[in-house]
Amino acid sequence: MKILITGGAGFIGSNFIRYMLGSYPGYQIINLDKLTYAGDLKNCEDFADNPNYEFVEGDIADSKLMDELAQKTDAIINFAAETHVDNSIKDPTEFLKTNVIGTQILLDSAKKYDHSKFIQISTDEVYGDIHEGMFTEKSPLKPSSPYSASKAASDLLCLSYFRTYKTPIIISRCSNNYGPYQYPEKLVPFFIKKLLAGEKVPVYGDGSNVRDWLHVRDHCRAVDMIFHNGMIGEVYNIGANEEHSNLEITKKMLKTLGLKEDKIEFVTDRLGHDIRYAIDASKIKNELNWEPEVEFDVGFEGVVEWYKERFK
């Protein structure tokens, strides 16, 4: 099996490649990454010399390069995306180029070279927010930010290619990930880096916005199961049912670092800030026998310690 993994120098992509190389020593992996500010080859240093691994610098919106790589591979797993909501609010342009046009070009290459699978890595943010209950895979898409709108558009493109061309797509929609190798613009590494520098951390609004938190290793396991056993044309939610407010996460971080809550600074809320994300992951649990393995308290404390060492 030869797999093209896009966005493999980023947070989730690099963790997934590490997981796959360790789990399937016979697989060959090409890692394509544009190496924007959030992509870093240091995330891949520990497996860079693996004989079954190859890195290619490039853009998924480059149709010539995508065709060249698609000819060499059997399947595509698309992690490549612009993901930072605040950046999408300031300027949506790159989000549309990468997340929508880039996905379309990848789909065309997969179709042209008859790939066996195309896995689109999406997000629970495409559903928008929900005050009570949980979103299922059948819930309507109501994205709130330019970022989530671009991901919803790419999901719909994938579903249209399945319907029109029979392209063998599967979509995964995951909740908030935490874990090692995340670029420090996202809450956990961003806050840890500031706290270690003796600075206060900015919490949006009153910090009551709720997210479901999943360790990146459990996300990797889920994508593995979807890739090998998922049903073509289907969508799978991936969540841990670990709902915590941003304020709770911040206080937990402070406690782990032995700091007081006076390090919290409440700031003006994000435009269009989603109140609560909650997804029902019973489909992947029942159909593919997936369950999260990393207990939240243990996993979170371990991740805080990992960043503490990294930001010394």
Q: What pLDDT does 312 receive?
A: 79
Tell me the angle at which helices 187-196 and 246-257 cross, rounded to the nearest 10 degrees.
40
Q: What pLDDT does 187 receive?
A: 94
The residues that bridge with 53 in the sheet, in sequence order, are 29
Q: What CATH class has 187-209+243-277+299-310?
A: alpha beta
- pLDDT tens-place string over residues 211-227: 999 999 999 999 999 99
> Whole-number mean pLDDT of the chain?
97
Answer yes or no: are the C-beta atoms of 153 and 92 closer than 8 Å: no
Alpha helices in the chain (DSSP H): 11-23, 63-72, 85-90, 93-95, 103-112, 146-165, 187-196, 216-229, 246-257, 282-288, 296-310
Other residues' Cβ atoms within 10 Å of the Cβ of residue 124: 27
pTM of the model as a whole = 0.96
Other residues' Cβ atoms within 10 Å of the Cβ of residue 281: 26
- Overall average pLDDT of the 55-76 stretch: 98
For the chain, percent of residues with pLDDT exceeding 90: 99
- Overall average pLDDT of the 161-179 stretch: 98
Q: What CATH class has 2-178+214-241+278-293?
A: alpha beta
- pLDDT tens-place string over residues 299-311: 999 999 999 999 9
Provide the pLDDT confidence category of residue 195 given band limits of 50, 70 and 90: very high
Phi-psi region of 73 (alpha: psi -120 to 50; beta: other; left: phi over 0): beta
Q: What residue ranges of the chain are covered by domains with CATH 3.40.50.720?
A: 2-178+214-241+278-293
Q: What pLDDT does 53 receive?
A: 98
Q: What residue ranges of the chain are covered by domains with CATH 3.90.25.10?
A: 187-209+243-277+299-310
| SS3 category, 53 | strand
The residues that bridge with 215 in the sheet, in sequence order, are 178
Q: Please give the structure tokens belonging to residue 173.
A: 């929609």
| SS3 category, 9 | coil
Longest CA span, the chain: 57
Q: Which amino acid, residue 20?
A: M
For the chain, percent of residues with pLDDT exceeding 70: 100
Give the list of residues 6+ apart from residue 262 with CB closer than 8 angstroms, or none.
none
Question: Could you tell me the CA-to-CA distances from 295 to 154, 218, 282, 291 in Å, in that order?
Answer: 32, 10, 18, 11
| Cα–Cα distance measured from residue 126 to residue 136, given in angstroms and rounded to the nearest whole number | 12
- pLDDT tens-place string over residues 269-294: 999 999 999 999 999 999 999 999 99
Q: Is the dihedral of CA 193, 195, 200, 206 positive or negative?
A: positive
DSSP 294: S
Q: Please give the structure tokens belonging to residue 76.
A: 């595509």
Q: What pLDDT does 106 receive?
A: 98
What is the full DSSP assignment across 94-105? Answer: HHIIIIIIIHHH
- pLDDT tens-place string over residues 227-267: 999 999 999 999 999 999 999 999 999 999 999 999 999 99
Q: What pLDDT does 46 receive?
A: 97
Give the list of residues 6+ apart from residue 78 with CB closer than 8 angstroms, or none.
6, 7, 60, 103, 106, 118, 119, 120, 121
Q: Catalytic residue numbers?
A: 124-125, 147
In this structure, the strands spanning 210-215 and 243-245 are antiparallel
Provide the pLDDT confidence category of residue 105 given band limits of 50, 70 and 90: very high
